[in-house]
Structure 1
Amino acid sequence: MVLVIDVGNTNIVMGVYAEKNLRAKWRLETDINATPDEFNRLASSLLSANSIGPEKIDKIVISSVVPTVAGNLDFFCSKTIGCAPKWIDAVSAKKLNIQIWYDNLKELGTDRIVNAVAAYNKYKTGLIVIDLGTATTIDAVSEKGVYLGGSISPGLVTSSEALFMQSSMLPRVKIDLPPKKVIGKNTIDSMLSGIIYGYAGLVDGITRRMIKETKMNPLVIATGGLALLIYKVSETIKIVEPDLTLEGLRLFGSL
């Protein structure tokens, strides 16, 4: 089995693959203050609860945009699993025949290239890949599998937190469903309209500009914790792939 770990600024997503099948998946809070022992106990308990013993794990593949948790992950892999993890970077993509047109590979987030690899491996066409998390990345992949670059925006929740913190008269609202109408008749619906429909407008606007710039007719797919929410109101997203990053890590693990 292959253990794949995607470390984001808000969540750590772990998955276990038996060949090409995702057997189990967990989403943890990214806690930069957790000690190695604390993280080890939590991660070990998740594996144990699913009857996945350390001896069943043959390989570990990690993508991370949070360098400060690397020590905890290395400790968990060595102490509990008993093998060193494979850390993914943009250079690794060359082994999967993905060209990267980016000025400085060291600046390219591993999650972005892992998503691009997974999406192109599955669909083999021009793509716009949208990852809706703490930050929102929108990346373009050519029909020949070339990673062309993309955009980075503050995530929906990140942007909303600024509104909640800086506006004393506005309440904190739960962002889980879009309002039925764009024109809100009360403060809560007005806020949800601006947050959700406004963010869909950002996603659709950048996507349309990328389509025009690349002169492609791409398939637009979304992943990340907020993908399904924005998909419901987006005019450009066609498919939601909730496990895209994990699948990309599995592919890197096959190298």
Structure 2
Amino acid sequence: MSMPPHQPPVLAIQVGNTRIKLGLFKSADPEEVVFVPREDLAGAIEAAARLFEAIGAEPDAAVLVADVDRTTGDALVAALRDQLACEVYRVPQDMPVPIGTCLAPGAKPGVDRLLNAAAAYDRLRQACIVIDAGTCITVDFIDGEGVFHGGAIAPGLRMQLKALHEHTAALPAIDFAVPEGTAWGADTREAMVRGVYHGARGLAWRLIEKYAEQYGGFPIVVATGGDAATLFGDDELVNQVVPDLVLRGMAIAARCALEPERGDREEPGFGALPEGGDAEGPAARPRPGARSRLDGVDPGFAPRFEVDED
């Protein structure tokens, strides 16, 4: 039985559209994850300094930053280099994302989408779909060779509610809450939350089916992001919910870059290949029936991420 690849100690920091997320890694799974509002740069630096104390003495410790907001990312990297007195790697500028791509010439997908893809494929080693439900909702396809093909981008739940309010005369500004009770909303607020909630779920279902139709089988589906559990925790088409997939992708990028002799892609990162799959090609599920989408599919088909429930 092969040993899992060595994971260098990593402080992974993701600057998102809404939050800054920090994850401490000493192994494949994060030991601690901290969330800070994107505007609270001082809070993010304080959290980073505290987390870095746990790995700062390690000779191969690394600090990684990936951002979708370059201005906040620049300020954070400069402050971290001064505060921690260590090298801070930016992903993908200083450290590439270990995932192949098949995209239109000149296409530049967000680093968060690529990191999601790298983390999902590193774990599953077969074709997969990653749904990231956050400020935006992305649904991306990775083939059985570990190549990112792109996907779809749509507004997230709160962005949809904000747009409904700002672009109409009568619809109120409301916070999102999971709809309960009847299938239809009895007032305007209830109708709005049902529209965005079921619309987001329906969007994902339709895209999964379209990707599966073109691919020739149903890939494993992983959901991540702040609203993943809310939207897909009980969804029959979603195999796993992994809220910290981007951070895991950053830890994998560090492993591949800093431990190249042990961080390559020749064998699965965490355990054996799923039954029916191999490293040379895809292992896709047969297309289930339209009404009973998962009939005959073993829910344990794919190796599962180890995720803390709290």
Match of 2:14 in 1: 6
Structure 1 residues 133 and 105, CA, compared in 2 at 3 Å: closer, same or farther? Answer: farther
Aligned identity (percent) is 27
Among 60, 64, 67, which residue is 2:63 paired with?
60
* Distance in 2 separating the partners of 1:222 and 1:128: 8
Match of 1:29 in 2: 37
What is the number of equivalent residue pairs in this alignment?
245
Q: Which amino acid aligns with 2:204?
A: V
Task: Indicate if the aligned counterparts of 1:99 and 1:146 stay in contact, CA closer than 8 A.
Answer: yes
* Distance in 2 separating the partners of 1:51 and 1:101: 36
Where structure 2 has 5 or more consecutive residues not aligned to the other structure, the ranges are 1-8, 258-310
Structure 1 residues 14 and 105, CA, compared in 2 at 3 Å: closer, same or farther? Answer: farther
Tell me by how many angstroms 1:150 deviates: 1.0
Given the alignment of the two structures, is residue 18 of structure 1 paired with residue 21 of structure 2, yes or no? Answer: no
Task: Indicate if the aligned counterparts of 1:16 and 1:22 stay in contact, CA closer than 8 A.
Answer: yes
Q: Which amino acid aligns with 1:71?
A: D
1:13-71 C-alpha deviation (Å, 9 max, x unpaired): 1111123342221112223xx7xxxx2x4234324666936834721112111111132
Considering fraction of residues, name the structure with more helix: 1
* Distance in 1 separating the partners of 2:82 and 2:16: 23
What secondary structure does 1:6 align onto? strand
Match of 1:239 in 2: 240
Given the alignment of the two structures, is residue 217 of structure 1 paired with residue 221 of structure 2, yes or no? Answer: no
Q: 1:171-250 counterparts in 2 under 5 A? A: 171-232=172-233, 234-250=235-251
Match of 1:92 in 2: 96
* Distance in 2 separating the partners of 1:133 and 1:28: 15
Match of 2:254 in 1: 253
RMSD: 2.4
Task: Indicate if the aligned counterparts of 2:22 and 2:48 stay in contact, CA closer than 8 A.
Answer: no
Query: TM-score, normalising length from structure 1?
Result: 0.86
Where structure 1 has 5 or more consecutive residues not aligned to the other structure, the ranges are none
* Distance in 2 separating the partners of 1:138 and 1:183: 26
Structure 1 residues 105 and 60, CA, compared in 2 at 3 Å: closer, same or farther? Answer: farther
What secondary structure does 1:220 align onto? strand
Q: Which runs of 4+ in 1 moved over 6 A?
A: none
Tell me by how many angstroms 1:166 deviates: 2.7
Tell me by how many angstroms 1:106 deviates: 5.7
Query: TM-score, normalising length from structure 2?
Result: 0.72
